[in-house]
Structure 1
């Protein structure tokens, strides 16, 4: 059952820390959401209070998160059904255009080959995202709230089951890979926990030729049974170079505070 608190502000803070070698980048976003009852479900107003760009050329998901910086100070209104699924977004064309413009502005400027390559990569991602159909645009704007809504996990936790094997996607500096792992759902005294631990190889090209690097993924979500809201989520991705050394690390933590 999805039963969010209505007419009460909730603060959502997401922090991502990315480390590659000696370079560490930090991305922080904060938004306030307020649910209201509606005849067919809920209306939720999302106000982006702060979004500091920090992942501009990492991957489409990171670029999209940085693009939301252009919405800072604006309120986006979404409509949800009784199960928490987003059914529509008010003024979607203008909202999507603001996000696309925000992503485009993140292309680095400079004449050196590396900067031009990064700028071309950002422009290619932006062009692909800008051309998405309306349903995809709505889904991406809905990502402001959908990761916070998980009543289906409350229902799943009502029937205890042992951990099960899963195959999950992961993104690293070497590209994307499918990882094998275990998913567990547990009921704790303070709520429900859903964890995934996975690892797998990814092919890379080195000066010596082809080699295999490794990616590990750890995720944890804590769900409030009475509301169906994900009050905390953590995702950590580590990439090991072919020689076994830590090549990159990404940690993203999202929390709800009242």
Structure 2
């Protein structure tokens, strides 16, 4: 069968290149594309392009997900705390409301169809919020966490993650990994249906999954920055099974 089609959500930011300066852009680090390709998938980029909170947006998300075999919710700026019923912390990023709305719609459509989902960093936090969970908005405020998960802006921190080998993503990665992290927020209360399957030494949840779904996995680190393909391979394997069964 043909390689599975894997959709990837995108950043909506102002960018500059060549002679062009400060252009509103849809973009994504190429490491995501390479990771999907190395794992045997075909990456499809999914920019937000409709007004938030509209019926058209939800219908578009359902149509898009209808052609996919897998979905990756990518990293990026903090989600709007309104999405989990909180007041914005001073250190929480300015909201990207349109991106939030598009990704919530993509996730809802994927969950309804049982499309495999891999949620990365921001994506994991959005998945948790979608399930009614909450976030710690600024880990350095809590001495137990400090700056361990984002020591410097623009530079990944190496963090040991202890994984449950009987649950995703430990089934693919083993009992322990060194992961690349760049997050100042983290999971507080897990959302409905999510189960923790990986923790940092300070106890912060770094991975979770949904046992009642064929494949819904969230990780707080950035696996696209690792040369190992196992996690993306587990997604494309699940996407291949989904494609065969639908």
Task: Name the structure with the higher strand share.
Answer: 1
More relative contact order in 1 or in 2 (CA 8 Å, sep 6+)? Answer: 2
- Regarding TM over 0.5, the answer is no
Task: Name the structure with the higher helix share.
Answer: 2
Q: Which protein is bigger by CA-based radius of gyration?
A: 1
